[in-house]
A and B are shown apart, each in its own frame.
Chain A
């Protein structure tokens, strides 16, 4: 068999012709010869013309079947000697891989038109085929593909190109079964090579090299052109001709728009602005609650609608969480512009009242600045105008002790009343409580208590009207705002001076059955130990009244209640009855007590001065008997006062024109002082120096310094005309003395040039007393 073909081949040695045959394919299935032949034929048909391929389309179905069954037919070329010189394809297409993604790839290549290997290989040939493939039915396309595959394989076998032959899609399913894991894992080599350059635009250069072949021609042409250009000017052959472009008629079209409103907005950012914005949510809540409260404030002559408006505006203000603080200043308090309502609102606000207070004090501070500075022992700023005069005055004034009048606390309320008692507040040394007695006019209430502040000498901070003339006052130490007032009708009231309401009376003794029925001459808050071992100090109120009782008051449910510490019994002078039968002292009536004083250190011991002129020393623990009795005065004892610095020394003054200085353990006074023949109303020790004390007589103020003289006072200040001095008070930490008179003035005097040393002078006083002691024996 093979020989036969070989022979045939040898006949046509020169040319390797693959003769076409039409339908011989089917018949030649069985035999190898036939197969070879047929393949040869078919391949040649295809190789010649594309149209022949189309002609074969009719028998495509048949072909397909055959193709299905027959394996790929390989072309074999034999030469004369029957040598197999079949050109081997450079690339053996992997049938499995090819079949797997056969048609799809093929079609993709067509559609994409990409310059991949496959398309490049099949590009020029597939294009004509593609049309046919896509247009015709699937089956036909498959068949033509099949044909084409074979053809391609043959014709392009020489090419060094990997050709992927898409196979019939129908085979694909079966082929898929053949794809095993191993095949997938198999490493396939993919060769990538450069495709042909596809020229998209080719504009040849107009430059030509001088050495080019047609360079001369080009140059000739160039010269011709240049000459032409030269000849053109002024040549009749060339006529200038102008051309005009007609401009079309312009049509104006106008458009109008609303002007854009430009608003300038600016803000100044400050540190406090940022701080306010940060904390404004919390503040807004507070502000809202405050303002709502204020909106409910009863306003005279305001409409209800007005109030509603304001609350609405408040609500809106509160809702905006971010309120610039600059806006807050400009914000209107109310929605109305009515000045009257604004004034009302403002004036009723607390802040306005506070502002007024501060303002008044500032103004007065300006006015009284030199005086207050002198009081506080600050260097006095002198006005430049009056410097010259001041110097003259200074030169004149000698170094002798004197008092300088600073100012006087007085107001129209107190005018005409006599000052019965004065007391400093325990906590605030600038606050002075003054009790006034009967007023000259009967219009006002009989009693008045004023709390004065040093910062305002023209108007009291508080003015409390009392039902009867005030005879004594004392501030509490434990509760500094409580002021105990003793009155002429025997009642004791405790006021709280903190509150603005002047009618606030905290407690009163009017319901107490044990109350005094006679004027309370002196009140005192005193700290006392509860137990003897020095437990806690409890403050209690003590009073001495004209009914001869010394009472200790305490607060009970219904007000004040008291227990009697001592009853001042009348003690007859036993000397008178010495000769006769010894009779018991007549305990008839109680003698009025006028004054008392507790010992500075041992607060259970106190002294009482009586109307008879006797001074009793008593103890809190013993309410039956006196510890001791001091007799010297024969007129009512107006004041007793322990020395704050020197222990066991006390002073007493009486209407018998004398002042007596006593020592506790001596029955008789150590020293006695008398100046003028008028009753001594009040006497007080100077807080800083033990040898100085002040005394008030009706017509003058006397300052005694025992260091300098024990016979005469060193300073005598006469009272103002028509005025009687009534009470006396020293100011702590300053050199000032306050004198209250019968006209309601409390005058502040500054003590100057008291030639006293730095020490408290206790030793000097002791020395004086010791020197005086032998006299008393």
Chain B
């Protein structure tokens, strides 16, 4: 059961990484340590650290306005790419995509 689930999750991750325009995927654990990535080490660490801070700030902002609310998704669109962050309590999923490709 767990094996197939794991396989399914792995498959989904691979599909995401293979999508059109996706530059990289990073999975960060609760401590801010990237545990799975498709980018090089320095970039990964930089993205992990910076987006963790940004996510915490964004979550704090959302919850300050209404404590019963919570952050579910964060998208940062820049000139060159779009960074999508799925924040959770114990992990962070960061995907960098270039949609205009």
Say whether A and B bind each other.
Answer: yes
Does B9 lie within 8 Å of A353, measured CB to CB?
yes
- The yes or no answer to A297 lying at the interface (CB within 8 A) is yes
Distance of A132 Cα from B6 Cα, bound (Å) = 112
| A343 proximal to B (CB < 8 A) | yes
Does B15 count as interface, using CB distance less than 8 angstroms? yes
- Tell me the bound Cα distance from A347 to B36 in angstroms: 10
B45 near A: Cβ within 8 Å?
A: no
Chain B residues near A297: list those with CB within 8 A. Answer: 2
Q: Are B27 and A346 in contact (CB under 8 A)?
A: yes
Q: Does B58 contact A (CB under 8 A)?
A: no
Which residues from A are CB-within-8-Å of B97? Answer: 363, 366
SS of B interface (majority): mixed
Query: Counting CB contacts under 8 A, is A356 at the interface?
Result: yes
Chain A, Cβ-Cβ closest to B64: A271
Q: Chain A 340-358, CB within 8 Å of chain B: the 1/0 string?
A: 1011101111011101111
- Contact check: which of B15, B30, B36, B93 meets A355 at CB < 8 Å? B93
Determine the distance from Cα of A276 to Cα of B60 in the docked complex, in whole angstroms: 12
- List B residues 46-101 near A (Cβ within 8 Å): 56, 60, 63-65, 67-68, 72-73, 75, 82, 84, 86, 88-91, 93, 95, 97, 99-100
- Taking the complex as formed, is B19 at the interface, i.e. its CB lies under 8 A from any CB of chain A? yes
* Interface membership of A359, Cβ < 8 A: yes
CB of A263 within 8 A of chain B?
A: no
Contact of A360 among B2, B5, B15, B82 (CB under 8 A): B15
Name the residue of chain A whose CB is nearest to the CB of B65: A271
Q: How many A-B residue pairs have CB under 8 A?
A: 121
Q: Tell me the complex Cα distance, A356–B17, Å.
A: 11
A270, B63: Cβ atoms closer than 8 Å: yes
Question: Given the complex, which residues of B lie within 8 Å of A340, measured CB to CB?
Answer: 35
Are B9's CB and A276's CB within 8 A? no
Interface residues of A in 572-627 (CB under 8 A from B): none
Chain A contact patch, size range: 35 or more
Known: A332-B31, A339-B33, A358-B73. A300 touches B64 (CB 8 A): no
Q: Report whether A343 and B36 are in contact in the complex, using a CB–CB cutoff of 8 Å.
A: yes
Contact A346 B99, CB 8 Å, known A355-B93, A359-B16, A363-B16: no
The yes or no answer to A458 lying at the interface (CB within 8 A) is yes
Contact size class for B?
35 or more
Residues of chain B within 8 A (CB-CB) of A276 are 67
For the residues of A in contact with B, the DSSP-based class is helix
Scoring A270, A342, A364 by chain B CB atoms within 10 A of each residue's CB, the highest score goes to A342
- Bound CA span A299–B3, Å: 9
Complex Cα gap A656–B5 (Å)? 50
Inter-subunit contact B89/A362 (CB<8 Å): no
Instruction: Judge if A775 is at the interface, Cβ distance under 8 Å.
Output: no
Complex Cα gap A276–B69 (Å): 12
Binds B, one of A191-199, A323-331, A528-536: A323-331
Q: Please, what's the 1-or-0 string for A270-301, where 1 marks a CB less than 8 Å from any CB in chain B? A: 11101110000000000000000000011110
B35 touches A331 (CB 8 A): no
Q: In whole angstroms, how far apart are the Cα atoms of A332 and B88 in the complex?
A: 13
Contact check, A346 vs B60: say whether CB atoms are below 8 A apart. no
Q: Answer yes or no: A265 CB below 8 A from chain B CBs.
A: no
Say whether A776 faces chain B, with CB atoms less than 8 Å apart. Answer: no
Apart from the given pairs A332-B31, A359-B86, A363-B97, 17 other A-B contacts in the complex at a CB distance below 8 Å: A275-B68, A298-B1, A298-B2, A328-B89, A329-B30, A339-B29, A343-B27, A346-B27, A351-B88, A356-B16, A358-B73, A359-B93, A363-B95, A364-B19, A367-B20, A367-B99, A369-B99
- A interface residue numbers (CB < 8 A to B): 270-272, 274-276, 297-300, 328-333, 337, 339-340, 342-344, 346-349, 351-353, 355-360, 362-364, 366-367, 369, 383, 385, 458-459
* B-to-A contact residues, CB < 8 Å: 1-3, 5-6, 8-10, 12-13, 15-16, 19-22, 27, 29-31, 33, 35-36, 56, 60, 63-65, 67-68, 72-73, 75, 82, 84, 86, 88-91, 93, 95, 97, 99-100
Q: List 26 A-B contacts (CB under 8 A).
A: A270-B64, A272-B60, A274-B67, A276-B67, A298-B2, A299-B2, A300-B2, A300-B3, A339-B29, A342-B29, A346-B27, A346-B29, A347-B6, A347-B9, A347-B10, A349-B91, A352-B91, A352-B93, A353-B12, A356-B9, A359-B86, A359-B93, A359-B95, A362-B75, A363-B19, A385-B100
